[in-house]
Every structure is written in C-alpha cells, then in structure tokens.
Amino acid sequence: MSTRRNFIKKTGLAGAALASSSSAFGATIITKKESVNHLLNETNTILGHGDYKYKLTKNWAQISSTRIPLLNCHEMVMDSKGRLIMIGDHPQNNILIFDKSGKLLDYWGTAYQGGHGLTIHDEGGEDMLYIADSGWALGKNNKMVKHNGRIAKTTVDGKVIFDIGHPVTIGVYKPGEHFCPTETAIGPNGDIYVADGYGQSRIIQYDLHGRYIRHWGGSDNPDPNYRLVSAHGVAIDYREKGNPMVVCTSRSQNCFKYFTLDGKYIKTINMPNMQVCRAVFDDDNLYAGVCWSQPKTDKTNWRDHTGFVTIMEGDKVVSNPGGTEPTYKDGELQKSFQIEEKPILHGHDVCIDEDKNVYICQWNANHSAPYKLERV
C-alpha cells in the first residue's frame, strides 16, 4: 500500500503532462483552455480520491476507428468468461466484445441502431443479454432521429430469444405516448424491470417471459417520491442480504430512488450536481457514470463535456474519478464538479473487473472507445 501511495504522489494530476494529440483508435479528447487545447497524459494521469485512485488509459481498446467505427459507447458488462461486452449505436455495429487487454474478440449487430442499455444475466449456466434500444438512431444527413424503442433478449452471440415492444400494444400506454427504453434489470425471480428513460420516465415490470406485471414512476407523477425525471437507469441492489431493492436513476433530479421489488418507495439518495446514469454494484460499492454536471460558475448545456465517475461505499460518495473530491457538511453531500482538465467527458456507464479496474463508456465523446481506469 505504501508503494501505491508513493506512486500516486509522484504521478498525481499536478504533474501530469499536457499535450494536444489525436488517436489512431479514435480516442481524441479535447479540453478548451484560454490559449491551447490539451490532452491529459496517457500514462501518468491519476484520478480519484482516498482508497479509490486509478491510472487513466484512454487507448485501452485496440480497434481501428475506420474499420470498426463508433458513435456512442453506451454501456458495458462482463460475461462469465471474463469478456467485456459493449453496446453502442453506430449503424455498422452495435455489440463489441473485448478481452481485458482491450483486444477486440468479436462484434455483431446492426438491428439495434438505438443501442443504449445492456444487462447480462446467468440463466441456467448460460449468459443472456437484455438489450435496450432507445429508439434514438442516426438517420439521414447525419442527424439523430427519434423512433420508438424495444427490449430484446439475446444470447451473447446475438440470437434473439424474444422482444418486448411498445406497451401501447397491450393497453399499458396510451396512443401517442413514446416508449424509448434506456435500461433493464433482472430481479431474483427473473422479472424484467425496464426503465423508459427517454419516453415516459416509468419503470415497467415484466415477468421472465416478458409478460406485463406493473409499472410506476413517471415525470408527471404527483407523488414526489414516485416521480422520476429521465428514469435513465434501473438496477437491483443485492448488497443487503435478503432484501434486494430496485434502484432507479432519476437523472434530471440528480438522485437515485430505491423501491421494493414490487415498486413501493423506500428512500432517495441525493447526488448534488451529478446527473448520474445507472447504478453498477460490485461488492459493497456502487459505481455510476456522471453524464453531466454544472460548473462552479456560469452554466453549461447537455452538449458540453462536463462528466466524470462517482463511487460510493454504501450510500456515501467516497471518490469522484475525473471530478472533485467529495465533501460532506453536517452529513449532507455537497456539490461535486468536473476537474478542469476534463479527463472524462461524459461518464455514461462503468464496468468493474475482478481486479477492481473500471472501464468507462462515454456518450458524445468524439467517437472514443471505452477508457480503462486501472486501480492503483
């Protein structure tokens, strides 16, 4: 541990070399300064706080941006073989499969052009993928076009088991209400929880065969505990033994909201100034990408690069790689901000391996491939 601490001191952000550069793999990061654009050093940049510090590697993914083009890298999961499976929304490829060295092992799929959410679930010893196609797809004239989305259950090599379509077809949604799902989570009995993050901001619960059970939430819900505004993510928190909970992201409200498996409200965890994406659990920790934040002065918009990653022990934020150190006052979390160097542009999702390294998928990040944060 002392060696790690010495290494961290020697290679902190204060000593990171800055230079303008572009990547053969499409991972160019541009930071606006008054005089010149900067790129954080590829090998010396250390991000994070406390016991959660990481070395940033932007060119982890060994792919060619011309042969395997990327648009947005939305989410990533690890399968039972230790492979890292990523979903994106480029028309030429939706699923990319890497080993932990960053080598591309396989890629497939052109049917999920709104590819956004990716969940993996062990079903009888076989890995199954649950794909959330948000409906937002690259259309003519290089512009994003909003369609209605769907959920697909597939094998890891792309064989479709079944689809879950628009809830209007079963009388759950009204005609004209958009269904643009962004995420799924699988409960202990196989129930499927769908976050309609870009549609009605509802959580829709289905059984393991895709049959409707119930829904809750909504941006227009009169009960503030049940109101979800941009219900971007959904996950199951198994950390409390015998008491799994559904964790819903209310991204525009900067918080996570917890519910029972049948949709009863439990609590809210506020994340000031962090527009968080889905909760990702590993051991006792919760990890999440922060897609946007506001600066300490002035305002920014959703196109600007203002994201980072946040890490929690239990319900307490302990590290913000790419952001400022978390602080609490009288037990309340204070606002966190992106650091000036902008090493992470938009934290959309994270994946954690057995060595506690973090892989970051980003939206609107100059077509960059996933980054790796190596635990130090």
Token representation of residue 333: 């979390």
CATH number at 70 reads 2.120.10.30
* Residue carrying structure tokens 């080993």: 99
- pLDDT tens digits, one per residue of 120-152: 999 999 999 999 999 999 998 889 999 999 999
Coil, strand or helix: which one is 9? helix
Rounded Cα–Cα distance for residues 56 and 33 (Å)? 21
Token representation of residue 204: 């829709």
End-to-end CA separation in angstroms for the chain: 9
* Residue carrying structure tokens 């909003």: 146
Token representation of residue 282: 């590993």
Among 199, 193, 291, CA closest to 237: 193
Per the DSSP assignment, residues forming a β-bridge with 206 are: 192, 212
Rounded Cα–Cα distance for residues 216 and 204 (Å)? 7
pTM of the full structure: 0.89
Do 290 and 323 touch, CB atoms closer than 8 A? yes
Rounded Cα–Cα distance for residues 338 and 64 (Å)? 29
Residue 227: the pLDDT is: 98
Count of domains observed in the chain? 1
Range of the domain at 283: 2-375
**Count of CB atoms within 10 A of residue 53's CB?**
21
Rounded Cα–Cα distance for residues 247 and 1 (Å)? 34
Tell me the average confidence (pLDDT) per consecutive run of 10 residues in the chain, 376 residues long.
Answer: 40 34 34 37 81 96 92 98 97 96 96 97 97 95 93 98 98 97 98 98 98 98 98 98 97 98 98 98 98 96 96 98 98 97 97 98 96 97
Rounded Cα–Cα distance for residues 245 and 242 (Å)? 10
| Count of CA atoms in the C-beta half-sphere (13 A) of 67 | 9
Rounded Cα–Cα distance for residues 182 and 132 (Å)? 5
